Amino acid sequence: MKPADDVRKLFKDAGLRVESKADERVFEDMVQAQHRVDENPKRVPDAWRRTMRNPITKVAIAAGIVIACTVGLFLWTGTGSGIALADVLTRIQQVSVYMYQMSMTVSGQATTGTAVDQNVHATILLSEDCGMKMNMEMTDPNGTTVTYHEQYVLPQKKILITIMPEHKKYMQIELDDTQFANLQKQNNDPGAMVKQILDCEYENLGRSTLGGIAVEGFRTTDPAYLGGMMGEIDATIWVDVKTQLPVRTEMEMQMGEMHVHGVVHDFEWDVSVDADEFEPVIPEDYTALSSVPFKVPATSEETALKGLRLAADLTGRYPEKLDIMTLTSYTGKIIMGDTPVAKRIRKEHTGLAREKYIAKITETIMPIQGIGTFYTLLTAEKKDPAYYGKLVCPEDKELVLMRWKASDTEYRVIFGDLHTETVTAETLAILETALPQ
């Protein structure tokens, strides 16, 4: 036994008990002290959670959901002539190769603060086996062609190749399954769009006629569309009543100060194309932006943590929201930022050619975009995610920064100081009450 062990044992064994009357008096003093300060009790922020824990309201809400679903079912199947959106998805999936045109207008202010007024026109060819090919032309308002891109998504190689003829450059980005799926959604693939609408709250717009074709419309303004990635959204799809295939889709998006209006039209179904169409042809004199393909970090908790840590190191705070515009604006500010870490990152890549410099910086800050991708995945998987970057700072070790469902009874939580824990739903409810208003 060490010399101190016997003293330590004595410390451990020595004890006391409290006399109950005095004990109660001390506690009452504490309660009074607490009440004197607590004249303006704080409102509890998570009303819905508390509401859901109340068994009476739980039954009422459940009844409301059942009524809503029943009404919905009546709308979709009760008439006998209506189109079920799920059937549209099935029909699209039966077509192996199809083609469509996409026209998009982007206006307003970009994250950098510069005014944007651009028209984008793209022709997209989609094949179940070979992937996607997109020819994209971007023009300014007076019709002058600004730039032309050719983009290939190759599912076998899980790679995205962009060819930029006016710069004689090309770029390769390696993708994982989730990123690949996200890319499909962002390119307004009608199949992916139908899937998204089915996951959201949507309404039937009824019958109409488009170019002499009888169509039925479906519309969603659900903020959960695309996992909330796109800000405010209004998406409509018009389906041919006869073939049950899309005829036209329209999308309005308000992302910060930027407005996007996109229309997908001129569908051609079951197109006959040669597999060579999907093989990118890169002229010999074109050079790669990076000697090795960019690797987008995996969509995972680890990447999200890495991104959040990087965000905290670079700016001392977290992105307020996880939609594309907020994250783009946030990373833009990082690149231009004055923090020592941002300056160090810039300095590390000084001397590189402009394209390579941009490529390196992009690669460095990519994990921050990974937070958004991970959140989108959680939304798509209906894991009840929530993010509180607006309220929580890196110093807030007790506050929930982000959470999602880990199982039926448990939630995974990332705290402000980026430590993680798995907690019960009840515990989470209590933790979230601590969030500032």
Binding interface with another protein (CB under 8 A): 3-4, 6-11, 13-19, 22-23, 26-27, 29-31, 33-34, 36-38, 41-42, 44, 397-398, 421, 423, 427, 430-431, 433-434
* Best CA proximity match to 244, nearest among 72, 92, 79, 80: 92
Residue 190: exposure state from Cβ atoms within 10 A (0-12, 13-18, ≥19):
buried
Closer residue to another protein in complex, CB, 31/59: 31
As given in the structure block, the two tokens for residue 128 are: 């179940």
CB of 56 to another protein, least distance (A): 22
As given in the structure block, the two tokens for residue 161 are: 């190749």
Length of the chain: 437
Three-class SS string for 117-183?
EEEEEEEEEEECCCEEEEEEEEECCCCCEEEEEEEEEECCCCEEEEEEHHHCEEEEEECCHHHHHHH
Closer residue to another protein in complex, CB, 13/284: 13
CB of 54 to another protein, least distance (A): 17
Which three-class secondary structure state does DSSP give residue 414? strand
Name 304's Cβ contacts closer than 8 Å, sequence gap at least 6.
Answer: 370, 371, 374, 375, 402, 414
CB of 394 to another protein, least distance (A): 13
Rg of the chain's alpha carbons, rounded to an integer? Answer: 27
CB of 7 to another protein, least distance (A): 6
Closer residue to another protein in complex, CB, 14/115: 14
234 DSSP β-pair partners: 252
As given in the structure block, the two tokens for residue 173 are: 């980005």
For residue 130, the tally of other CB atoms under 10 A from its CB is: 22
CB of 306 to another protein, least distance (A): 24
Distance in angstroms (rounded) separating the CA atoms of residues 373 and 303:
10
CB of 407 to another protein, least distance (A): 17
Distance in angstroms (rounded) separating the CA atoms of residues 373 and 364:
16
Long-range contacts of 41-45 (CB under 8 A, 24+ apart): 42/437, 43/437, 44/433, 45/432, 45/433, 45/435, 45/437
Rounded to 5 degrees, φ, ψ at 436 are -65, 155
CB of 387 to another protein, least distance (A): 19
CB of 61 to another protein, least distance (A): 24
Closer residue to another protein in complex, CB, 48/74: 48
Residue given tokens 């799926």 in the structure block: 181
Closer residue to another protein in complex, CB, 11/81: 11
Secondary structure letter of residue 285 according to DSSP: T
Closer residue to another protein in complex, CB, 46/216: 46
CB of 15 to another protein, least distance (A): 5
Closer residue to another protein in complex, CB, 186/409: 409
Closer residue to another protein in complex, CB, 19/274: 19
Closer residue to another protein in complex, CB, 77/420: 420
Closer residue to another protein in complex, CB, 271/393: 393
Rounded to 5 degrees, φ, ψ at 225 are -55, 130
CB of 365 to another protein, least distance (A): 30
CB of 432 to another protein, least distance (A): 9
Residue given tokens 């199982």 in the structure block: 407
Closer residue to another protein in complex, CB, 4/281: 4
